Structure 1
Amino acid sequence: MTPDQTPDILLIRQTRPDVAERLAARFRLHRLDDAPDRDAVLSAIGPRIRGLAVGAMCPIDAALFDRLPHLEIVSSFGVGYDTIDVGAAARRGIVVTHTPDVLSDEVADLALGLLLAAVRRIPQGDRYLRAGHWRAASFPLTASLRERRVGILGLGRIGQAIATRLEGFGVGIAYHGRTPRAEVSYAYHDSLIGLAQAVDVLIVAAPGGPETRGIVDAAVLAALGPEGIVVNIARGSVIDEAALIEALRAGTIHAAGLDVFENEPQVPDALIALENTVLLPHVGSGSHHTRTAMGRLLTDNLVSWFEGDGPLTPVPETPWSRAR
């Protein structure tokens, strides 16, 4: 394309420096993340913008779409896109893309790490040694993965990667989702309560959004039982955080390993104070290798679109076909 045909792209929130560099090399790049007056920027360049590059967990709503009348595509950094109003995008004919697959293994690895850390109290043991307590007494015995049954809420790409890893631990595996998956042999439960009653570990791998908000509630936690362990690497909104804190405090469940929270980066003091938790600052995909791959896919979606080849990884709510 000639310089006059170069599409204008708006970077809403910085993801990685290499992403901005790759975008600037292929497009006429504008940045909203470091603009002193965002409203003035949108007024000045809004009608020229044809693509959005969106950082993780960045709210994108209908009001923004109204400021960008010629927007064609939103390319988002991350597999989750619950902060993007995909319904408003679909009504305007805007395609939304995300970065699935390239982070599934990394997040699944971390889910298993959180599970082991919560069951065997690995961070607590580390603190015990560093404080010099081992010289006086052995660290208390912990729970075990032996003879446990693990339930996965959401058997999508990441859920299946978690299940594959769990097979090596010799645990029973079951799952709940909107529909059973014919390609797997794990036990399917048609209700979340039923899954919680059947297992004593619940790994949350379901997408965020209104449909899943707070579905892991007090009743589900009670069904999981006093030996129950919750691991969440999905979205903090999927779990009723107040109910989880009370369940951990009261011994309704045994422990939790959490990488995500309801109001990130704000984590309740009551959750931090609990000794039966392992808490991480949303680092599921946080390796150099995986974040580089995510940034490359974000850029490649935009390049493919504007070269006329369509999006590489559109979300299902904004389907695309060559006929369109």
Structure 2
Amino acid sequence: MPEQVLIYSRFPKAMMVRIGQRYDLMDAAGKPPNDMFSAGQLAGVRAMITAGGTPLGAEVIDTLPALQAIVCYGTGYDGVDLAAAARRNIAVGNSPAANASSVADIAMTLMLAVTRRLLPADDYVRSGNWSGAKPSPLMKPQPGNPGRRVGVYGMGEIGRRIAARAAAFEMDVAYYSRSRHDVPYRYVPSLEALVEWCSVLMIAVRAGADTHHAIDAQMLRKLGADGYIVNISRGSVIDQDALVAALTDKTIAGAGLDVYQTEPHAPDALTAFANVVLTPHIGGHTLDSHVAMQNCVMANLDAFFAGKALPYPVK
């Protein structure tokens, strides 16, 4: 009989098909498990799958007395109460680097779209203004990529791939992270210095207490009127109210965002700017990335149920 695994977060059913062929999945559909299942049904659950950004605190963990493994579908694990898991000796795993290339691709796509004003350009054609020879201030020439200064905040697997792509576009790349890495890019000793130096700030740092609102009003002023910000990390890294104010006051030139303070993100002041490009947290949403993430999830579950250490533990 296959082992039971609780699905805690709400996932599209297609993402769980391969995993469901190996395990008996109990789908909580994003609701508290004890709302969906009886205490008796939850009593024997030893492993769960969650999305890293979904809040998973001690109050939920404690409804699962036999829980021994939390497996995150994806790279992130910021929603998991690691201290609560540690108190229970619960192993926590994730899918490191499984979607890094796809996320780096969307970062570059957002950067190119906002700096080259692709959405206003698309509208210029569709509206008939181009064929009608109507002038548009948004169609003024913009700086090109060669020599553009790109600052990467965070030099993990995603940050490295962003940097490599930016370098291939003939951009000048520098980075800041908690430690220096053996990479062919300039290391800047502080986030403030990186923001002051760059013309595009790429946020690729993990979410956590130390990065919460790291990009605030002061940082946005340092980025300046010619600066752009691209975030493919977590919405919590940017003070979103400060970002809206900076866009309103033209403190910065524009933004490309795949992640938000609250998700899904409803239309609001942020969505009204022509110099902001928005995507619905699709950085890792490619077929190959999902296969890779599922492979990591199943490898972690296989090892756990075999009594072995997780091959992809959260460290």
TM-score scaled by length of structure 2? 0.92
Structure 1 residues 218, 308: closer, same or farther in 2, change over 3 A?
same
Matched, 1:152 2:149: no
Distance 1:101 1:167, change over 3 A: same
Q: Can you list the C-alpha shifts for 1:7-31, whole angstroms capped at 9, x where unaligned?
A: 3311113434355344443333322
Letter in 1 for 2:163: A
Distance in 1 (alpha carbons) for counterparts of 2:109 and 2:103:
10
Aligned to 2:239: 240
Matched-pair contact (CA < 8 Å) for 2:8–2:49 = yes
1:296 corresponds to 2:295: yes
Find the counterpart in structure 1 of residue 173 from structure 2: 173
- In 2 relative to 1, CA 40–259 (structure 1 residues): closer, same or farther, beyond 3 Å? closer
SS of the aligned residue for 1:10 comes to: strand
Q: Matches of residues 183-202 of structure 1 in structure 2 within 5 Å?
A: 183-202=182-201
The structure-2 alpha-carbon separation of the partners of 1:205 and 1:147, relative to structure 1 and needing over 3 Å to count, comes to same
- Corresponding position: 1:8 with 2:29: no
Show the 5 A alignment for 1:105-120: 105-120=101-116
**Does residue 1:125 correspond to 2:121, yes or no?**
yes
2:60 to 52, 61, 64: 64
What is the distance in 2 between the residues matched to 1:83 and 1:36?
Answer: 15
SS of 1:134's partner is coil
1:14-163 aligned within 5 A: 14-33=10-29, 38-39=34-35, 41-55=37-51, 57-137=53-133, 139-163=139-163
d(CA) in 2 for partners of 1:188 and 1:36?
44
Judge conservation of contact 1:213–1:237 (CA < 8 Å) in 2: yes
CA distance in structure 1 between the partners assigned to 2:189 and 2:239 by the alignment: 20
RMSD: 2.0
SS of equivalent to 1:271: helix
Deviation of the 1:220 alpha carbon? 0.8
Q: CA deviation at 1:192?
A: 1.1
Asked if the contact 2:200/2:229 (under 8 Å) is kept, the reply is yes
Separation (CA, whole Å) in 2 of partners of 1:54 and 1:35: 12
Whole-angstrom CA distance in 2 between matches of 1:36 and 1:98: 21
**Partner deviation per Cα, 1:65-88 (whole Å, 9 max, x = no partner):** 111121111111111111111121
Deviation string, structure 1 residues 107-157 (Cα, Å, up to 9, x no partner): 111111111111100111111110111012364323432332110111111
The one-letter code of the counterpart of 1:72 is Q
How many Å separate the matches in 2 of 1:106 and 1:315?
21
1:320 paired residue number: none
Q: Which amino acid aligns with 1:154?
A: G
Q: Which residue of 1 aligns with 2:314?
A: 315
Q: For the residues of structure 2 that align with 1:93 and 1:197, how far apart are their CA atoms? A: 43
Aligned to 1:319: none
How many residue pairs are counted as aligned between the two chains?
A: 311
* 1:300 to partner: Cα distance: 2.3
Distance 1:190 1:96, change over 3 A: same
Query: Structure 1 residues 219, 308: closer, same or farther in 2, change over 3 A?
Result: same
Question: Which runs of 5 or more structure 1 residues have no equivalent in the other structure?
Answer: 317-324
Percent identical pairs in the alignment equals 37
Is the Cα–Cα contact under 8 Å of residues 201 and 229 in structure 1 kept in the other structure? Answer: yes
